[in-house]
A and B are shown apart, each in its own frame.
Chain A
């Protein structure tokens, strides 16, 4: 039974960070109707920023959160402004070229990182790396717990922003009905740019939070892109609340899979969930609540 609870706890802890990744993706999905296949790669960039900040300036990863997030916000803004928005005017037979563009961006980001940092595995060893504390017989990884708490805080801030501020309301309006939002005087082009920046900043925070736990190498982005993508489908496209539950579900399912089936099948668990959702619950968790 302890094994079960231990697995559950570590699943929930990582799930909180997955939720952070998924929320960025789902915001972009909601506003622009495209899936951002460069999402994990943006996280990889944030992780390298954190890594550089730690190695050269001895900045604690949790402090570099406030460096990486603005950096990635502006990177996201630039990507949306100069690469994705111009595509709206290009006339083509296939409408999915924005998705294809994000794949191109993903490859370019990965290769630039490989160019600068080479493929070597790197890690940030802080004073709390590998430290654990016990609570009722269950061990908690310190770095994971701190990351989880940060993730919860950021989620609350995000919800406050989306529900209470003018900009947040414009973002939600654009996601609900773009034409109506434009008629109400929302500058939808500006909103897409801000949303992409916001999504990038959210995933950047996840990157900074994960760096004391994971090894860093240029290809780390790809599995996280897949995860973000599974969470978005699982939670229901464009649903922020869905992304939180999607993230937690994926985290728990992955750690259960790793404990009870086998470590090498961890990655596959998410994708199987994904297919099951497509077959039995198209529309994701959002469908269950009818919100």
Chain B
């Protein structure tokens, strides 16, 4: 227990000092994105990894949060940071609606329903032009020119999310969540209100994803439906981040976020400009191949499969 706290403190200090050492805007940008994915991956992990409700629709919450911030700033002229405070709550509202519809279904059917819900949200955002500007998207002016403030906001968000997930999983709720994942009927027969706890898990998950979405709006200053409601690049990415790191572990998604953003950027920048240009055009292909590779060989993630990886490395020596 004590050892874990020391390690957490060291990691926190490293991340606080990091942007002061790394002054390149490009690497700071990568760090900000990675921290944002720590939040989203962790949120997905809470709902899917711990509670067993595999969501293919986390883009719903991300997009709702982003559009909350964007529309408030664009139509009402408020600060986009107000949107960041509210984005999480609108995402929870969206989550309750989704939960009402989709929690009637179990297992794979739930997963399918979330895909459809995600597509519906994307189409609404495309077609409701008076509110969302449709495909034109929402454009804001960034508050800060330096990346530093954004970095610390993202870091605070990531730290808060990890703290909350950790607390929740150590509380009674956490045990209820896991029991629902393991066997919903058995959990209900022991007096656990499965519908309530599934919705709670969804609400916490949606809150952090929505806040991350609102942060994205603030940071990138531009969103359109295809970006924030994207099935592959938000919903699937969230799943991938959690899987590559380790499902149902607190640190797994955090590690996964660093790995995924690292790999994606390596290819997007064509291995830092060393490789020919077509490599950078293939980053979507690499993303698809990553999905296949990870599921085939690393299904429990770096953290979950750590003993397996260790054994492989030791044996090969």
> With A96-B54, A268-B123 known to touch, is A103 a contact of B232 (CB < 8 Å)?
yes
* A112 lies within 8 A of chain B by Cβ: yes
* B296 lies within 8 A of chain A by Cβ: yes
Q: Kindly provide the distance from the CB of B90 to the nearest chain A CB, expressed in whole angstroms.
A: 20
Q: Kindly provide the distance from the CB of A168 to the nearest chain B CB, expressed in whole angstroms.
A: 25
> With A101-B295, A272-B120 known to touch, is A107 a contact of B127 (CB < 8 Å)?
no
Flag if A108 contacts B247 (CB, 8 Å).
no
> With A92-B299, A103-B236, A278-B104 known to touch, is A108 a contact of B115 (CB < 8 Å)?
no
> With A100-B295, A108-B292 known to touch, is A93 a contact of B284 (CB < 8 Å)?
no
> With A92-B247, A94-B247, A104-B289 known to touch, is A271 a contact of B299 (CB < 8 Å)?
no
Flag if B104 contacts A226 (CB, 8 Å).
no
Flag if B292 contacts A83 (CB, 8 Å).
yes
Q: Kindly provide the distance from the CB of A192 to the nearest chain B CB, expressed in whole angstroms.
A: 16
Question: A235-255: which have CB < 8 Å to B?
Answer: 237
Flag if A90 contacts B296 (CB, 8 Å).
yes
Q: Chain B residues with Cβ under 8 A from A91's Cβ?
A: 299-300
* A111 lies within 8 A of chain B by Cβ: yes
> With A99-B108, A104-B291 known to touch, is A93 a contact of B296 (CB < 8 Å)?
no
Interface size class for chain A?
Answer: 35 or more
With CB as the reference atom, state the residue of chain B lying closest to A283.
B109
* A267 lies within 8 A of chain B by Cβ: yes
- Binary interface encoding of chain B residues 101-125 relative to chain A, with 1 for a CB under 8 A from any of its CBs, else 0: 1101101110111011101100110
> With A96-B54, A278-B101 known to touch, is A34 a contact of B116 (CB < 8 Å)?
no
* A87 lies within 8 A of chain B by Cβ: yes
Query: In the complex the two chains form, what is the Cα distance from A198 to B47 in whole Å?
Result: 35
Query: In the complex the two chains form, what is the Cα distance from A99 to B289 in whole Å?
Result: 15
Flag if B111 contacts A99 (CB, 8 Å).
yes
> Could you tell me the dominant secondary structure of chain A's interface residues?
helix
Flag if A229 contacts B115 (CB, 8 Å).
yes
* A265 lies within 8 A of chain B by Cβ: yes
With CB as the reference atom, state the residue of chain A lying closest to B123.
A268
Flag if B296 contacts A86 (CB, 8 Å).
yes
Q: Chain B residues with Cβ under 8 A from A83's Cβ?
A: 292, 296
With CB as the reference atom, state the residue of chain B lying closest to A278.
B113
Question: A29-75: which have CB < 8 Å to B?
Answer: 33-35, 37
Q: Chain B residues with Cβ under 8 A from A265's Cβ?
A: 127
Flag if B127 contacts A268 (CB, 8 Å).
yes
Q: Kindly provide the distance from the CB of A96 to the nearest chain B CB, expressed in whole angstroms.
A: 5
Flag if B292 contacts A101 (CB, 8 Å).
yes
Q: Chain A residues with Cβ under 8 A from B56's Cβ?
A: 99
Q: Chain A residues with Cβ under 8 A from B59's Cβ?
A: none
Q: Chain B residues with Cβ under 8 A from A106's Cβ?
A: 288
Flag if A275 contacts B120 (CB, 8 Å).
yes
> With A83-B296, A101-B292 known to touch, is A93 a contact of B119 (CB < 8 Å)?
no
* B285 lies within 8 A of chain A by Cβ: yes
Q: Chain A residues with Cβ under 8 A from B123's Cβ?
A: 267-268, 271
Query: In the complex the two chains form, what is the Cα distance from A264 to B56 in whole Å?
Result: 25
Query: In the complex the two chains form, what is the Cα distance from A110 to B102 in whole Å?
Result: 29
Q: Which of A96, A108, A229, A282 has a CB less than 8 Å from the CB of B289?
A: A108
Q: Which of A37, A107, A279 has a CB less than 8 Å from the CB of B288?
A: A107
Q: Chain A residues with Cβ under 8 A from B222's Cβ?
A: none
Flag if B296 contacts A275 (CB, 8 Å).
no
Q: Chain B residues with Cβ under 8 A from A268's Cβ?
A: 120, 123-124, 127
Q: Chain B residues with Cβ under 8 A from A101's Cβ?
A: 291-292, 295-296
Q: Chain A residues with Cβ under 8 A from B109's Cβ?
A: 237
Q: Kindly provide the distance from the CB of A257 to the nearest chain B CB, expressed in whole angstroms.
A: 12
Flag if A264 contacts B112 (CB, 8 Å).
no
Question: B210-237: which have CB < 8 Å to A?
Answer: 231-232, 236
Q: Chain A residues with Cβ under 8 A from B236's Cβ?
A: 100, 103
Query: In the complex the two chains form, what is the Cα distance from A108 to B288 in whole Å?
Result: 5
Q: Kindly provide the distance from the CB of B120 to the nearest chain A CB, expressed in whole angstroms.
A: 5
Q: Which of B52, B108, B243, B300 has a CB less than 8 Å from the CB of A35?
A: B108
With CB as the reference atom, state the residue of chain A lying closest to B127.
A264
With CB as the reference atom, state the residue of chain B lying closest to A98.
B295
* B36 lies within 8 A of chain A by Cβ: no
Flag if B116 contacts A274 (CB, 8 Å).
yes
Binding site for A on B (CB under 8 A): 48-49, 52, 54, 56, 101-102, 104-105, 107-109, 111-113, 115-117, 119-120, 123-124, 126-127, 181, 231-232, 236, 239, 243, 247-248, 281-282, 284-285, 287-292, 295-296, 299-300, 304
Selected A-B contacts with CB under 8 Å, 22 pairs: A87-B295, A90-B296, A92-B247, A92-B300, A95-B54, A96-B54, A96-B108, A100-B236, A100-B291, A101-B292, A103-B236, A105-B292, A106-B288, A115-B285, A226-B116, A226-B119, A264-B127, A271-B116, A271-B119, A275-B117, A275-B120, A278-B101
